[in-house]
């Protein structure tokens, strides 16, 4: 029999709400004033809710202000908070502060660690208990997926989807056996698009690479990349550095220490801190484990360059119980990468002026006169000889340089003219090669110089509904895992299934109300 659970994460409303106005909010830690992300915000008396974004922001349709009296806000490590909806204002960002709820380690030792287990023993028990605590039978997760990049803290290439992940169970290899159905796709045009930074990873030409390490392209499908980085789901098959296969590599590769217990919905969890240094990388994180059955509730992993000055990647995952088993609540994977930007200053074309026995080079930008006039930047190679070039004229505004070869003998000049008449396309000795290096335009760009630019890439999935059994919701279009998610085509009739699901599009910068 099919059983379902609605997680209080995202608003479950009709598509028509997309055109409505919203109440906007932002969650902050009451002590540090830092954003509280991935917190659940539920409309009291319903299953509707949102989840806060990386910057702590969230939004709900304005119409719910009159339908529901209160919001209930909860997050791991914080006191749950009830907020009257009448206190939330329109046309501003309503700041809500959450109070951390912690207990001192000394107290935790008395009430939480009576069994005297070490941090490593707790983690070992948690990993060993994964087959018991997580479903080995087929199930589906329906939820909100998005991927985007941050360019100097600004959203770029924001893509959103409602997808169903059809998992065959923890006894199978996720990458090979899991299927996906797509309910809705949105390439959000309200945020800038950048075709270069959104291209697949390319290590052969180094056009798009991780700044440290290698991330396989997986055919450009960011959702598949995200799933690979669920270390708990892939505990027996391999995931990311330095967890690798969690079953037998996580514990040997890390040092573990007991932290303060963490609070979630009236329950205290073990919090185990870990760290490691390997292959020039420093990594640290936290794993949260149930005191009752050693179920894993959360895993947070960060990897930095060895001096900890620059983040390489970061992963957040949380899991929640449903009918005796744990299921993914949300998964977020971000990493830094850099792309090679096209050169700003290039040569448009080069041709031989037969009448004047000269070489004409056309550039795309206005030339720096001093740089373009220096013959050291031009070389002509013909018949194993470097033939000097005289700069006859620099046409600065028209972006053109005229050069004249200086031959050492009439014989070489004749051979050169014969090769020109053959369009200089002959191979070997008759090939004519004109090289231009180091010329600058008036903006200071060096010819053919290609700069690299760094971005942060995010992929996130938030579960709205868990379905036990093999059939799932049986709606949507099957995703082709061999191409990028947003190259799939979804017919309009698939929108009929959207009344139960909600896209929590990130907010743009708005005035904040303290």
DSSP code for 446:
B
Helix (H, G, I), strand (E, B) or coil at 153: coil
Cβ within 8 Å of residue 302, ≥6 positions away: 283, 284, 285, 311, 313, 314, 315
Distance CA 21, CA 362 (A): 53
Crossing angle of helices 246-253 and 119-128, in 10° steps, is 170
Helix (H, G, I), strand (E, B) or coil at 498: helix
DSSP code for 19:
G
The confidence score (pLDDT) of residue 72 equals 86
Q: How many CA within 13 A on the CB side of residue 5?
A: 20
Token duo for residue 184: 């809705």
CB 446 within 8 A of CB 345: yes
The confidence score (pLDDT) of residue 503 equals 72
The confidence score (pLDDT) of residue 164 equals 93
User: Looking at the DSSP assignment, which residues form a beta bridge with residue 305?
Assistant: 281
Q: Which of 53, 40, 27 is nearest to 504 (CA)?
A: 53
The confidence score (pLDDT) of residue 326 equals 95
Kind of pairing between the strands at 347-353 and 477-478: unpaired
User: Looking at the DSSP assignment, which residues form a beta bridge with residue 167?
Assistant: 139
Distance CA 82, CA 207 (A): 49
* Helices assigned H by DSSP within 353-494: 369-373, 410-421
Distance CA 490, CA 507 (A): 25
Answer whether 0.75 is exceeded by the pTM. Answer: no
Distance CA 89, CA 512 (A): 11
In tens digits, what is the pLDDT along the chain, a chain of 514 residues? Answer: 344 333 333 222 333 333 447 788 899 999 999 999 888 887 787 656 677 887 888 877 787 788 889 988 988 888 889 999 999 998 888 999 999 886 644 444 444 444 589 999 999 999 999 999 999 999 999 888 999 998 887 889 999 998 999 999 999 999 999 999 998 888 888 889 988 887 777 766 777 777 777 788 788 899 999 999 999 999 999 999 999 999 999 999 999 999 989 888 778 899 999 999 998 999 999 999 999 999 999 999 999 999 888 899 999 999 988 888 999 988 999 998 888 888 999 999 999 888 888 999 999 999 999 999 999 999 999 988 999 999 999 999 899 999 999 999 999 989 988 888 776 555 556 688 899 999 999 999 999 998 888 888 999 998 878 888 877 666 788 999 999 898 888 765 444 445 466 677 775 554 444 5
CB 297 within 8 A of CB 263: no
> If you write DSSP's letter for every residue of 78-146 in order, what string do you get?
B--EEEEGGGPPSSSEEEEEE-B-B--HHHHHHHT-TT---HHHHHHHHHHTHHHHB--S-EEEEEEEE
Task: Write down the residue that tokens 């080069």 correspond to.
Answer: 350
Distance CA 164, CA 161 (A): 10
The confidence score (pLDDT) of residue 268 equals 86
DSSP code for 218:
G
Distance CA 87, CA 83 (A): 7
Distance CA 511, CA 514 (A): 10
């Amino acid at each position: 029999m099919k059983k379902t659970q609605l997680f209080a994460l995202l608003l479950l409303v009709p598509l028509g709400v997309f055109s409505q106005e919203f109440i906007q909010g932002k969650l902050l830690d009451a002590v540090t004033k830092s954003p509280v992300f991935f917190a659940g915000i539920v409309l009291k008396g319903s299953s509707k809710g949102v989840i806060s974004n990386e910057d702590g922001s969230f939004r709900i349709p304005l119409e719910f202000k009159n339908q529901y009296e209160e919001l209930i806000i909860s997050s791991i490590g914080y006191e749950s908070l009830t907020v009257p909806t009448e206190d939330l204002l329109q046309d501003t960002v309503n700041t809500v502060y959450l109070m951390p709820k912690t207990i001192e380690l000394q107290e935790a030792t008395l009430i939480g660690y009576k069994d005297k287990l070490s941090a490593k023993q707790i983690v070992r028990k948690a990993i060993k208990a994964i087959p018991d605590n997580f479903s080995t039978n087929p199930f589906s997760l329906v939820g909100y997926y998005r991927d985007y990049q941050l360019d100097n803290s600004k959203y770029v290439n924001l893509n959103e989807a409602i997808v169903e992940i059809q998992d065959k169970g923890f006894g199978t290899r996720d990458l090979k056996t899991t299927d996906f159905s797509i309910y809705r796709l949105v390439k959000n045009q309200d945020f800038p698009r950048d075709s270069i930074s959104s291209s697949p990873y390319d290590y052969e030409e180094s056009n798009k690479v991780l700044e440290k390490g290698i991330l396989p392209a997986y055919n450009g499908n960011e959702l598949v990349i995200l799933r690979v980085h669920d270390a708990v789901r892939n505990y027996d098959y391999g995931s990311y550095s330095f967890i690798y296969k969690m079953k037998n590599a996580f514990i040997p590769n890390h040092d573990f220490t007991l932290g303060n217990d963490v609070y979630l919905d009236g329950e205290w969890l073990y919090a185990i801190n870990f760290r490691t240094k390997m292959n020039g990388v420093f990594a640290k994180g936290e794993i949260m484990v149930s005191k009752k059955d050693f179920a894993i509730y959360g895993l947070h992993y960060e990897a930095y360059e060895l001096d900890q000055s620059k983040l390489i990647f970061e992963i957040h995952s949380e899991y929640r119980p449903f009918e005796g088993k744990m299921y993914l609540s949300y998964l977020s994977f971000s990493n830094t990468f850099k792309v090679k930007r096209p050169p700003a200053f290039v040569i448009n074309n080069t041709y031989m002026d037969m009448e004047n026995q000269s070489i004409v080079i056309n550039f795309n930008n206005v030339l720096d006169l001093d740089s373009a006039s220096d013959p050291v930047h031009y070389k002509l190679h013909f018949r194993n000889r470097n033939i000097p070039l005289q700069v006859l004229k620099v046409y600065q505004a028209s972006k053109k340089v005229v050069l004249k070869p200086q031959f050492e003998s009439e014989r070489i000049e004749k051979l050169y003219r014969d090769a020109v008449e053959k369009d200089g396309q002959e191979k070997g000795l008759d090939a004519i090669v004109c090289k231009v290096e180091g010329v600058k335009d008036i903006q200071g760009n060096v010819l053919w110089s290609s700069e690299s630019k760094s971005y942060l890439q995010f992929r996130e999935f938030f579960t709205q509904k868990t379905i036990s059994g093999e059939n799932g919701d049986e709606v949507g279009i099957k995703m082709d895992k061999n191409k990028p998610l947003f190259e799939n085509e979804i017919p309009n009739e698939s929108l009929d299934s959207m009344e139960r699901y909600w896209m929590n599009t990130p907010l743009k910068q708005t005035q904040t109300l303290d």
